[in-house]
Structure 1
Amino acid sequence: MTAVTRTTSAQTPTERTGARTEEAADVISGARERIDALDDRIIGLVQERMAVSAVIQDARIESGGRRVNLSREMEVLAHYSDALGKPGTALAMTLLELCRGRI
């Protein structure tokens, strides 16, 4: 079996983007940079959400409550579903799983 080596630096902009013109490659490259920046912000927000959720869970547990509040999770699921449709539900489920912590 032969390993395939990807050398993106040696590729032309049209090869890297799949565009058929240099102009389209420039648009795609710029948009990809913006997406990368947005992804970095989203990751940071998810990490912040995880930290805030941990504070809530700690307070709930210390007061004798359960780690997870299912009615609240249903509210979150509905919020994402209303805003983003069916994929929003899957996204919310992933966020809830990430934010439940490892207690």
Structure 2
Amino acid sequence: MSGIQAVTDPATIPVAKATTAPATRHAVKPDTGARTEAAAGVITDARERIDDLDGRIIGLVQERMAVSAVIQRERIGSGGRRVNLSREMEVLEHYRGQLGRPGTALAMTLLELCRGRV
């Protein structure tokens, strides 16, 4: 994948360390839940990164939906069925293998987005 680096271990994500400023009784940044300005800055930066990642993920899902539509059109046009269950099982197993049990739910959602309800 060009220009995209997969991160599998959240501990490897570079994040600035909070300074040792004393905690206050009230959150410094209520929208972050942080009790120090330094922590609020780290959280704000990390949230911006998550927003960027979410935008990229949504774009990839939309691209996957378009590719799936081509596959369905060609399969149906050639006299085949709309859904290929053995292929869907491969997708489910791949996601489960990479992400564990929640990966299966994610794959099911992607499959539903790409082919509709069965």
Residue identity in the other structure for 1:87: P
Q: Does 1:63 align with 2:78?
A: yes
Q: Does 1:92 align with 2:107?
A: yes
Secondary structure of 1:19's match?
Answer: coil
Write out per-residue CA displacement over residues 18-56 of structure 1, whole angstroms, 9 at most, x where no aligned residue.
Answer: 001000000000000000000000000000000000000
Q: Which runs of 5+ in 1 are unaligned?
A: 1-11
What is aligned with 2:46? 31
TM-score, normalised with respect to structure 1: 0.85
Is this contact kept in 2: 1:13–1:26, CA < 8 A?
Answer: no
> Which 4+ runs in 1 deviate beyond 4 A?
none
Aligned length: 91
Q: Which runs of 5+ in 2 are unaligned?
A: 1-26
TM-score, normalised with respect to structure 2: 0.74
Is this contact kept in 1: 2:28–2:35, CA < 8 A?
Answer: no
Q: Between Structure 1 and Structure 2, which shows a larger proportion of helix residues?
A: 1
* Percent pairwise identity: 79
Q: Does 1:47 align with 2:47?
A: no
Residue identity in the other structure for 1:92: A
What is aligned with 1:20? 35
Where relative contact order (Cα < 8 A, 6+ residues apart) is larger, the structure is 1
